[in-house]
Structure 1
Amino acid sequence: MEDSEISSGSLDGAYKPLPHFYLAFMVIWFFSALFWTFNTYKNRHFQSSTLQWALATVPAIKALQLLLSFLFWYSCLYSNICSLWLSFGVYITGILFQTATFISFSLISHGYRILCCRLSLSERRIVCGLGCVLYLTLVGHRASIPYFSVILFLDYLVIFYVIFHRVSQNLQALREQLNFIECEDVQAMHDAVHMKFVMLKKFQVAMHCVAVLELAIFINTDHSLENYWIRLLVREWAQYFLLTYIGWIFRPQEMASHFSLMPILKSTIETIAPPIYSISLNEQKPQEMDAETFKEFASHEWHIGVPTLSSHKGRSLEDSVIVMIQHPRAYNLPSLSNKGSPVVAPTFIPASFSEYRSNPIQEQCSILLE
């Protein structure tokens, strides 16, 4: 480790509040990361928490950056030793924090674990590519390499364009689903789809504030030391409130029924959202079909089901695999006159059937069909 000793008189008085400032914000971010981790673990049974665990890296990295900043300035001001390695750690963690933040924003804008269970290959390449370019650009910009300020500005434009474009596309898809639900009177799905729409709408508003904040930081030309810590205080509070607001929107919680949906798959044929039925071995529930009645539904387009606990006693329904079979006579395609039609997924189908089962001891399987 290389250390350089300096006299305290050579430091400007504007830097004196920095150790206390970084210590206070380090405590705030540390407890925020701790609370987020605890809440994610506590509510992991209510929804898939993959997105929430990814978001947990943002406050954790920020808390580490503030801790290193506190150690650097405290040793520099009160021990007259400015550690090169601590300053390098602050430099790296600051870049990692910004990169992790925008990768999290990209995941949310693509609807990861909100509208789809996983991203497509092209979407994963876009997110990873933008994250790598942003990281390298920030390294050059922080190192004051010529022209990297222009490259960083262009990189920000591309990132915000992708985020806002994807959010707009997902909001449009949710509007179409809400219109379909209202027209077909499928109220069982309304609360879940409406919750997704509100979450992404709030995220869109928050991202406008983030864009304004990043633009203000980027074009800031005031480098005077007199109000350095005041400008730093305003920036840190703005970052904290914006990230806390976005984290609150997508916090782990007990979601509305049917919130977890299958990925939206595109098809050349118009997709449908099939109603919900279930096969029962008795007639205690007249609104359901029994096994004999279901055999007569040979002309229906969709037969979808999962095994229940009675057939798989060693597994839970949440681990069951959805089986979707399209009836061969659902569509008469000229090119497939002698073959069965290909399987085409509907617009949205619940990923977990635990919400739809009535009595797993009395049923053989849960069925979706039209």
Structure 2
Amino acid sequence: MANSSGTSGVRLDDSFRAVPTLYLTFLSIWFVSACSWTAYTFRNRHSQQCNKLQWTLTSVPLMKALQLMLSFLFWYPCYNFQACSLWMSFGVYVTGVLFQTAAFVSFLLISHGYCIMCERLSLNERRTTAALACVFYLTLVGHKASVPYFTVLLLLNYFISFYVIFHHISQNLLVLREQLSFIENEDVHTMHDAVYKKYTMFKKFQGAMQIVATAEIVICMNMDTSSENYWIRLLIREWVQLCIFLYIGWIFRSQDLAPHFSVMPATKCEGETLVPPIYSIEMDAATFKEFSSHEWHIGVPTSNSHYESSKDEVLVIIQHPCAQRSSRKLDFCSHNTECFVVSDPHTDSYSNPVEQH
């Protein structure tokens, strides 16, 4: 390897000839993907409630692009000029660990239903996610540094992490199936498209996670560290990572989601999860003005006590009469609550106020 001055004097064999080119190619692809994802997310930042999830996922392609850039800057002079930088190799090592950790945290957030089943994670979910991320980061550092027994610890961590991910995905799918059944039985068609959209997103994500788990098992089983065909193993690994993240990014991209997709609780609660019914109340501007000064405020539970059962809470969501069709509306509810969307009949949303977002 190289010293800190950047001179090695050891010539690499021809099996590494294609490595700089591969890193440059994948760097271009990931960089374009990261810029496109960021620009598209920023352009649609007001279109949906779960835009926070897209901003969180932005860290993954950006971190990967940084890792590939440092990898190219290390391999190109190392192969062509026999000048391998120790500091550059350390940067590749650190960014590689951070990329895998960021991807792992993103998988955990999605499996918990962040911005899909709830606006934010509960305190216990945040603590569990942070703890698993820290353990994953430390075991990955020890494994890449060839510390004894850390390979076993990493495999154990993978097993626990994927168990948590698949467990939460299964729970969310079960809840969504129950909600779809409830919608069909109670004839609440206004929520069907939103719930079914969430269900299909989790089903696709579950399939993607199965591919990720299989790929990680294959990588752990392949202990070949020889220089022969190194570029082929690199090509396969990078293509698999790119395809997986392109697929997941396509599933959770910023888009025009189904109506009422953003009707979700602030945090998930224990117990049965029901679909909140949505009603429409029409009133003229004068009545609306008087109603806006009522003790019921926008998005505030009518229950006077925080200790009362959430089943008796009613959330009031009000569309201001002066708001335009393109304006952003407050649209969120808690479990087992009734959600009223109040709209002025003189606005353009009079015809069907609850169908607008």
Q: Quote the residue 1:60 is aligned against.
A: 62
Scaled by the length of structure 2, what TM-score is found?
A: 0.82
Q: Give the distance between the partners of 1:268 and 1:91, measured in 2 at CA.
A: 44
Q: Give the distance between the partners of 2:140 and 2:273, measured in 1 at CA.
A: 45
Deviation string 1:181-224 (CA, Å, 9 cap, x unpaired) is: 11111111100100000000000011000000011111112222
Q: Quote the residue 2:345 is aligned against.
A: 359
* 2:92 aligned with 1:87: no
Q: Give the distance between the partners of 1:319 and 1:192, measured in 2 at CA.
A: 16
Name the SS for the 1:149 alignment partner: helix
1:235 pairs with one of 234, 237, 260: 237
In structure 2, list runs of 5 or more residues that go unmatched.
286-290, 292-311
Name the SS for the 1:82 alignment partner: coil
1:226 shift after superposition: 1.6
Q: Quote the residue 1:225 is aligned against.
A: 227
1:277 pairs with one of 277, 280, 299: 280
* 2:45 aligned with 1:44: yes
In structure 1, list runs of 5 or more residues that go unmatched.
283-290, 292-300, 325-344
Q: Is the 2:71–2:92 contact (alpha carbons within 8 Å) kept by the matching residues of 1?
A: yes
Amino acid of the residue matched to residue 29 of structure 1?
W
Q: Is the 2:179–2:275 contact (alpha carbons within 8 Å) kept by the matching residues of 1?
A: no
Q: Is the 2:20–2:76 contact (alpha carbons within 8 Å) kept by the matching residues of 1?
A: yes
Distance 1:143 1:211, change over 3 A: same
Amino acid of the residue matched to residue 207 of structure 2?
V
Q: Is the 1:262–1:348 contact (alpha carbons within 8 Å) kept by the matching residues of 2?
A: no
* 2:54 aligned with 1:31: no
Q: Identity, % of aligned pairs?
A: 50
Q: Is the 1:306–1:320 contact (alpha carbons within 8 Å) kept by the matching residues of 2?
A: yes
Q: Give the distance between the partners of 1:46 and 1:145, measured in 2 at CA.
A: 47
Q: Give the distance between the partners of 2:272 and 2:76, measured in 1 at CA.
A: 65
1:309 pairs with one of 320, 335, 355: 320
1:6 shift after superposition: 2.7
Q: Is the 1:306–1:321 contact (alpha carbons within 8 Å) kept by the matching residues of 2?
A: yes
1:362 shift after superposition: 10
Q: Give the distance between the partners of 1:261 and 1:153, measured in 2 at CA.
A: 39
Deviation string 1:225-261 (CA, Å, 9 cap, x unpaired) is: 2211101101110110011101100001111110102
Amino acid of the residue matched to residue 306 of structure 1?
I
Distance 1:64 1:188, change over 3 A: same
* 2:76 aligned with 1:74: yes
Distance 1:349 1:52, change over 3 A: farther
2:139 pairs with one of 137, 140, 163: 137
1:308 shift after superposition: 3.6
1:318 shift after superposition: 4.3
Distance 1:245 1:271, change over 3 A: closer
More displaced, 10-19 or 228-237?
10-19
Distance 1:304 1:148, change over 3 A: closer
Q: Is the 1:308–1:317 contact (alpha carbons within 8 Å) kept by the matching residues of 2?
A: no
Aligned length: 321
1:262 shift after superposition: 2.2
Amino acid of the residue matched to residue 76 of structure 1?
C
